[in-house]
Amino acid sequence: MEATNNFSSTNKLGQGGFGSVYKGQLSSDESMAVKRLDAFSCQGLEEFMNEIKLIAKLQHQNLVKLLGCCIEGDEKLLIYEYMPNKSLDYHLFDQTRKEQLDWSKRFAIIDGIAQGLLYLHKYSRVRIIHRDLKASNILLDLQMNPKISDFGLARIHASTTPSNTNRIVGTYGYMSPEYAMEGLFSVKSDVFSFGVLMLEIISGKRNTSFHKSGKALNLLVHAWELWKNGNWLDFVDPSLGDNFLSNDVSKCIIVALMCVQEKAADRPIMSEIITMLGSENAILQDPKKPAFFTTGNEGVSELLIYASQNDITLTVLKGR
């Protein structure tokens, strides 16, 4: 309470689905971020305990560090390292702030997220599926290095085959079709979310609100159609100007489209993605149509009816 000035609104950094995040200042002048979960939230308590158990086992430069935690009465607190540049979506979807993200920074952010996911999927002590990878869960440090945050929905996945759940949680627009429709999740679920995130970073547009532009049902469809017709340059964020290498951006678009292919088996794993992104002579396969490749309101209705057969919990993003 002392560090956050009694959770003052002036110290509030953001609001999540199960609580708020505040900036705190210790007597040693060290800054921290305090996640205060809402009281009397059973789902929040479950996520709280899940995050403690998982993140305590993780150590990687592209994952946010958990510094401490507290449960006292109705109070449930998580204390993280403070990230001064807030979240990726804070910069990426703002017309003024996005200009700070030149192509070299955007590529470094893509690579950093990929490295963090590779660690979760392969090199941590337990294989972890994040299940809620999105721009607001990518935090940026002082040098704009990305760190994956919010492991409340993450799950340990010991098997190499997909697991099934009857309770689907995540964020609309980032969820893979096999997870949204059948409750199946695996490392390929995170790969799908990563592909969506890559397309957002390249274009500077949100997938969840892109249908309002009238150009396509979603950002994935738009990217695939432009790439198929040889007009992929039209997909690039105009704020980048001409300050990028066309081969690098073209490669990133193709890799992203490979990640969002409808069938999980067609998507690459994170080690393959990192190899493709880091190689100048990578041989890339032509991506197939992305998931949810439908047009018009009829396609959307069919998808929502099918998905609603499960006990589904969704986070719907809205522009700030």
183, amino acid identity: G
310 Cβ contact list (under 8 Å, min separation 6): 166, 167, 168, 181, 183
Helix (H, G, I), strand (E, B) or coil at 170: strand
Which among 29, 74, 94, 132 is annotated as catalytic?
132
Alpha-carbon span 121 to 271, nearest angstrom: 9
Length of the chain: 320
Residue 81 CB coordination number (10 Å): 16
Distance CA 87, CA 188 (A): 24
292: helix, strand or coil: coil
Decide if 111 is catalytic: no
Asked if 262 and 288 touch (Cβ cutoff 8 Å), the reply is: yes
Give the pair of three-digit tokens for residue 94.
Answer: 């703002």
Residue 247 neighbours by CB under 8 Å, 6+ apart: 280
The 10 Å CB-count burial string (b at 16+, else e) for 165-185 is eeebbbbbbbbbbbbbbbbbb
Query: Residue 163 corresponds to which amino acid?
Result: S
CB atoms within 10 A of CB 256: 29
Point out the residues that are catalytic: 132
